[in-house]
Amino acid sequence: MPERPVATEDALEWARARGIGALAQKMGFEWLEFTPDRAVARMPVEGNTQPVGLFHGGAYVVLGESLGSMHANYHAGPGRLAVGVDINATHTRSATSGYVTGVCTPLHLGRTLAVHEIVVSDDEGRRCSTVRITNHLKDLPVA
């Protein structure tokens, strides 16, 4: 795992180098911004829909969990790991085309817990889903 950078401008490269995992990659996850204060990414609606053509509710959660977990791991720092312990989502609109964009902001960044809110909007800036994730921060086992 790459070391966490100190400079804000290097945080996006840290996130890209760390990787997002096979599921998010398969769904078209794309980083737009990553700083110590927030993380932003998007996913295409096409290929991530329910049979009726709406963006799948689980896809909102994948986007939210990817953003929140990654930001929590950044906060955790070297030699530590963030693991999700709770996630919930409230869907308020359905995207049917284009992209959805998630903006992840920390609500709490502590020593053992990190809580993030991810607001997911469509291309017109309308909120489609609000995801909240709590991650437990722990030390990696010493080899």
**Which residues are part of the catalytic machinery?**
65
Q: Which of 49, 70, 72 is nearest to 59 (CA)?
A: 49
C-alpha Rg value of the chain to the nearest Å: 15
Q: Which residue has the tokens 């795992």?
A: 1
How far apart (Å, rounded) are the C-alpha atoms in residues 40 and 34? 6
Task: Label residues 121-140 b or e (16+ Cβ within 10 Å = b).
Answer: bbeeeeebbbbbbbbebeee
